[in-house]
Chain A
Amino acid sequence: MNTFFDSFLSALSLITSLDPALWVVVTRSLAVSATACLLAYGLGVALGAWLAVARFAGRGAVLVGLNTLLALPSVVVGLVVYLLLSRTGPLGFLGWLFSFKAMVVAQVILVVPVVTALTRQVVEDVERQHGEQWASLGAGPWVRSLLLAWDERLALLTIGVTAFGRAISEVGAVMIVGGNIDGFTRVMTTAIALETSKGDLPLALGLGLVLLAVVLLLNALVAGLRRWGEQRQGTRALAPQGGVA
């Protein structure tokens, strides 16, 4: 018990004293996950909204595949990206392995299915109820997908936070493709794993606290934005309240 409290106090001290070793890792983590989420969010929302309104042969199989990808193990993604980016792999010429870019690619692959599946669900619910009204006004599938996704922007904000939570809390893929290289590809989760194994619990705990604080802050921000949006529009957003896993 003493070890825990001592570590906890040391962790707080590291955070409040703006320990460079800790904050370098934190800022890199945030940069990797934010970049990955921005890319994945743009791609996932567009794809999810389109899947919500498009009807084509094999759509059911695509949706089953998409839902399966939600449970994609991050180490498998890491392994696949590693094989693709390794010197002998098809994308080896890029020279991205053990770099910031490799970690971003891995997190994009992990996050795109989450954003796509959740966006599809949100937009498809509205499309089922009201899609024909917009079709009757002259909106084709592409326009409908854009309009309905825009209209559900408050719900899509929550999806963005969920995606960020998935990215920033992930450890397996970035460990494999980033290599956890000190000062270069070390991020919060890989650092926590390493420092714990080395017995440097204050630094691991400090990083864990920052990780939790980031996620808490984002959730609070999104909850505030949703409430503001709902009050402004006089409605409640249709999607269930979500949160970062």
Chain B
Amino acid sequence: MTAAVVQLRNVSVRLGPVWALTGVDLAVQPGERVALVGANGSGKSTLLRTLHGLLPPAQGLVARHPALRQAMLFQRPHLLRMSALGNVALGLWLDRGQGLSWPQAKARATEALQRVGLSAVARQSGRQLSGGQQQRLAMARAWGRRPDVLLLDEPTASLDPHAKREVEALMANFAAGQERPLTLIWASHNLGQVKRLATRVIYLEAGRVLADLPVADFFNAAELALHSPAAHAFVQGELP
């Protein structure tokens, strides 16, 4: 087994008076596609934010390789009142780790927009794009950073089925052309999507990891029931 790209050791996170995560141990290997599933409020988004360094753990340790490059996508990407190209370029220019000049950021943004199939709308206002295009724009902003780890918080939750497929296809294909393997970690309520894309599934409930299995085992009812009755009940409820 290779060294983990990111590792959590007994991590607990507090949001105000609530423990949003409790005692989470997790090690993610390069190139894994890890889906986080669970009910609303189970801690999926908190876990992603903790992995990305947006939330500091109250207890425990988050370990990352110092040279690790991460990017995160949110359910509803926020775009500024500027062109699609400008939005991507600005996102890349802000990345101090890469230290790109503005012309370099624009060149990289042009390439990234091409990668997600949005070259034709590069000059349009980012806010005039459809929801699916906006999410692809956010993916271009993330891909332009050449991340080792891409974190996504319910990236297709507010999209129509067609846009959902487009974003899924990008998630699946992003690793292609990368110099280093791309690790995907995303939260999803869509178990079909999890089945299609994930190599590993983590089930969370009330801030605790109750199941952490390869995708085949997670969707094997007998196996799942054996490992985690709670996760089994959740999946049965989701997939009658």
**Which residues in A have some Cβ–Cβ distance to B below 8 Å?**
126, 129-130, 132-139, 143, 147, 150-151, 153, 229, 232-235
A150 to B86, CA, bound (A): 14
- Known A232-B125, A234-B127, A234-B128: A134·B95 in contact at CB below 8 Å: no
Q: Which residues of A contact B52 (CB under 8 A)?
A: 136
Asked if A135 and B54 sit within 8 Å, CB to CB, the answer is yes
Q: Which residues of A contact B125 (CB under 8 A)?
A: 232-235
A232 to B82, CA, bound (A): 10
Q: Which residues of A contact B74 (CB under 8 A)?
A: 132-133, 136
Asked if B96 and A151 sit within 8 Å, CB to CB, the answer is no
Q: Which residues of B contact A229 (CB under 8 A)?
A: 81
Return the contact of B127 from the options A134, A138, A143, A235 (Cβ within 8 A): A235
**Which residues in B have some Cβ–Cβ distance to A below 8 Å?**
49, 52, 54, 71-72, 74, 77-78, 80-81, 90-91, 94-97, 125, 127-128, 141
Q: Which residues of B contact A126 (CB under 8 A)?
A: 78
Asked if B54 and A233 sit within 8 Å, CB to CB, the answer is no
A135 to B96, CA, bound (A): 12
A221 to B78, CA, bound (A): 29
A111 to B91, CA, bound (A): 34
Asked if A138 and B96 sit within 8 Å, CB to CB, the answer is yes
Known: A133-B72, A133-B78, A136-B71; 18 extra A-B contacts, CB below 8 A, are A132-B74, A133-B74, A133-B77, A134-B78, A134-B94, A137-B91, A137-B94, A138-B94, A138-B96, A139-B94, A147-B90, A151-B81, A229-B81, A233-B81, A233-B125, A233-B128, A234-B125, A234-B128
A57 to B74, CA, bound (A): 29
- Known A136-B54, A137-B91, A137-B94: A130·B127 in contact at CB below 8 Å: no
A229 to B128, CA, bound (A): 13
A143 to B96, CA, bound (A): 12
A132 to B55, CA, bound (A): 10
Q: Which residues of B contact A233 (CB under 8 A)?
A: 81, 125, 127-128
A237 to B156, CA, bound (A): 26
Return the contact of B141 from the options A137, A139, A150 (Cβ within 8 A): A137
Q: Which residues of A contact B72 (CB under 8 A)?
A: 133, 136
Asked if B54 and A138 sit within 8 Å, CB to CB, the answer is no
A133 to B97, CA, bound (A): 17
Between-chain CB contacts (< 8 Å), 27 pairs: A126-B78, A130-B78, A132-B49, A132-B74, A133-B72, A133-B77, A135-B54, A136-B54, A136-B74, A137-B91, A137-B94, A137-B141, A138-B94, A138-B96, A138-B97, A139-B94, A143-B94, A147-B80, A147-B90, A153-B81, A233-B125, A233-B128, A234-B127, A235-B81, A235-B125, A235-B127, A235-B128
Q: Which residues of B contact A143 (CB under 8 A)?
A: 94
A129 to B74, CA, bound (A): 11
Residue of B nearest to A229 (CB): B81
Closest Cβ of chain A to B100, distance in Å, is 11
Residue of B nearest to A126 (CB): B78
Asked if B78 and A138 sit within 8 Å, CB to CB, the answer is no
Closest Cβ of chain B to A133, distance in Å, is 5
Closest Cβ of chain A to B148, distance in Å, is 15
Residue of B nearest to A143 (CB): B94
A147 to B80, CA, bound (A): 8
